[in-house]
């Protein structure tokens, strides 16, 4: 593949933007090499500025569940944007979006639109703190909730120690209010609540961990969190920025039958536009300004163009058999990759649910972040670049989930598996 124009653009970008990118993972730092620059996208494909085509398994990090540039979504955006790009006053599409989310996700009796997943999670923990009068937040190792200060905290030396900032600029005093536990550790979270439960405002969790590749909850774990929060008066916050409307129409909470107090959304509800939202019980959301004292605002929240793209996408995913087809395609991909790795004698395992999957270069089952760390990152990096050169784009990190869209069909999966057999063989021979 020729990457001359992407190379030139990246060299220019490095002089103008930190690392040459506007979001760190785009820089290919963990896998090595230089990123390509997209020019357009269609269906299951990305096309770069040099004319190279890639089967895309990140889908703009999740929102393109119906495929890139779906005609219905483009038509909806085109129609709305002709009336104006932003108003600064309420618009009818905000109401329709709120009606749609509250109908599809019953735990959300009210919802507030914001502009990103990070805004949604920051607003949710502010609400949790304001509503409970408590300050401590519990998060889990390997989960990512955006770049807010409260989330950029790693675990201390012991299970119940105070958090430690893992980014300069995060005050130690704020990190002290964030407790980090191991995901799927029943004993650890039980012990924490026994000691500090009365001080915990909320527990925020990716119900399926999408930022340590793809880690599924152990049987009964999410219910255990629900029970502990109920007993202590803490709020259970599901971060469904990735899983919302992707693993099931009602998200992970529908899939696993758990009712959180608050839920955060992003990705799919924007149909590719920058959008987020948080919702939950009416008594909680009623405490948000202007109806209550807990302040949160956003000048561009509920942007009509973003609402149009999101509503068109949410309409598409309600088609009969939509999720069944996505699940079958994802399983087809996972099984094919596993068989190809086995044939080459490569230690490899996959995880996944519906249209979300993870790839690990190890044989052991993946139950938590520590398991994900055992994956051979050097083999993943060789796999990533080998697939990229053959026109298949997986996430440029061993710790990011992959996503399928409704436009990934037999041809795309067959191409992917053919490429994978070649790459696995090369890795085995190295």
* CA 264 to the chain's CA centroid: 11
Predicted confidence (pLDDT) per residue in 370-414, tens digit: 899 999 999 999 999 999 999 999 999 999 999 999 999 999 999
Predicted confidence (pLDDT) per residue in 139-172, tens digit: 998 888 888 877 877 654 333 345 567 778 878 7
Contact yes or no for 286/36 (Cβ under 8 A): no
Q: To the nearest whole percent, how much of the chain has pLDDT over 70?
A: 97
Average pLDDT over residues 99-119: 97
Locate all alpha helices (DSSP H) within 159-303, ordered by sequence: 172-175, 186-196, 221-232, 251-256, 282-285
pLDDT at 155: 53
Question: Smallest Cα–Cα separation from 139: which of 101, 174, 102?
Answer: 174
Instruction: Indicate if 144 belongs to the active site.
Output: yes
Residues 36 and 162 in one domain: no
Predicted confidence (pLDDT) per residue in 226-244, tens digit: 999 999 999 999 999 999 9
The one catalytic residue among 54, 267, 278, 369 = 267
Among residues 279, 301, 316, the one where a domain terminates is 316
Predicted confidence (pLDDT) per residue in 332-354, tens digit: 999 999 999 999 999 999 999 99
Looking at per-residue confidence, does 173 or 73 come out higher? 73
Residues 94 and 242 in one domain: yes
Q: What is the CATH number of the domain that holds 179?
A: 3.40.640.10
Among residues 285, 316, 347, the one where a domain terminates is 316
pLDDT at position 204 over 80:
yes
Spell out the residues 6+ positions from residue 38 whose beta carbon is closer than 8 angstroms to its own: 46, 47, 48, 49
Residues 107 and 225 in one domain: yes
Contact yes or no for 309/273 (Cβ under 8 A): yes
Q: Which domain holds residue 292?
A: 71-316
Average the pLDDT over each of 152-166, 260-274, 358-372 and give the range with the smallest value: 152-166
Average pLDDT over residues 103-123: 97
Question: Smallest Cα–Cα separation from 307: which of 108, 142, 84, 130?
Answer: 84
The one catalytic residue among 45, 144, 369, 393 = 144
Over its C-alpha atoms, the chain yields an Rg (Å, rounded) of: 21
The one catalytic residue among 239, 278, 369, 393 = 239
On average, the pLDDT of the chain sits at: 94
pLDDT at 158: 39
Residues 368 and 243 in one domain: no
Residues 82 and 96 in one domain: yes
Instruction: Indicate if 239 belongs to the active site.
Output: yes
Instruction: Indicate if 139 belongs to the active site.
Output: no
d(CA 223, CA 201): 18
pLDDT at 163: 56
């Amino acid at each position: 593949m020729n990457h001359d124009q992407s190379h030139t653009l990246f060299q220019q970008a490095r002089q103008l933007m930190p690392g040459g990118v506007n979001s760190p993972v785009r820089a290919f730092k963990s896998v090595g090499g230089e990123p390509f620059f997209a020019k357009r996208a269609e269906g299951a494909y990305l096309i770069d500025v040099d004319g190279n085509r890639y089967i895309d398994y990140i889908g703009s990090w999740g929102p393109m569940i119906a495929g890139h540039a779906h005609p219905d979504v483009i038509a909806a955006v085109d129609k709305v944007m002709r009336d104006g790009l932003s108003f600064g006053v309420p618009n009818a599409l905000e109401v329709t979006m709120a009606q749609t989310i509250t109908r599809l996700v019953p735990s959300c009796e009210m919802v507030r639109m914001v502009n990103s997943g990070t805004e949604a999670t920051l607003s949710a923990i502010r609400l949790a703190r304001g509503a409970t009068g408590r300050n401590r937040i519990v998060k889990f190792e390997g989960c990512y909730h955006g770049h807010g200060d409260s989330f950029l905290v790693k675990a201390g030396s012991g299970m119940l120690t105070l958090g430690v900032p893992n980014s300069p600029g995060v005050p130690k005093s704020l990190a002290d209010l964030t407790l980090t536990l191991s995901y799927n550790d029943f004993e650890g979270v039980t012990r924490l609540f026994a000691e500090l439960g009365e001080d915990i405002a909320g527990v925020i969790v990716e119900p399926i961990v999408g930022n340590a590749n793809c880690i599924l909850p152990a049987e009964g774990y999410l219910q255990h969190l629900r029970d502990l929060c109920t007993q202590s008066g803490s709020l259970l916050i599901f971060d469904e920025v990735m899983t919302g409307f992707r693993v099931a129409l009602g998200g992970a909470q529908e899939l696993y039958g758990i009712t959180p107090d608050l839920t955060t959304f992003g990705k799919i509800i924007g149909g590719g536009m920058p959008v987020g939202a948080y919702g939950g019980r009416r008594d909680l959301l009623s405490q948000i300004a202007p109806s209550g004292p807990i302040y949160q605002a956003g000048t561009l929240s509920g942007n009509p163009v973003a609402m149009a793209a999101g509503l068109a996408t949410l309409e598409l995913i309600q088609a009969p058999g939509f999720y069944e087809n996505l699940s079958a395609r994802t399983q087809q991909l996972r099984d094919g990759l596993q068989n190809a790795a086995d044939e080459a004698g490569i230690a490899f395992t996959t995880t996944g649910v519906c249209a979300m999957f993870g790839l690990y270069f190890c044989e052991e089952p993946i139950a938590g972040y520590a398991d994900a760390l055992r994956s051979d990152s050097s083999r993943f990096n060789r796999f990533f670049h080998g697939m990229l050169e053959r026109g298949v784009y997986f996430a440029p990190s061993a710790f990011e989930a992959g996503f399928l869209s409704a436009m990934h069909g037999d041809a795309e999966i067959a191409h992917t598996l053919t490429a994978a057999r070649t790459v696995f063989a090369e890795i085995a021979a190295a």
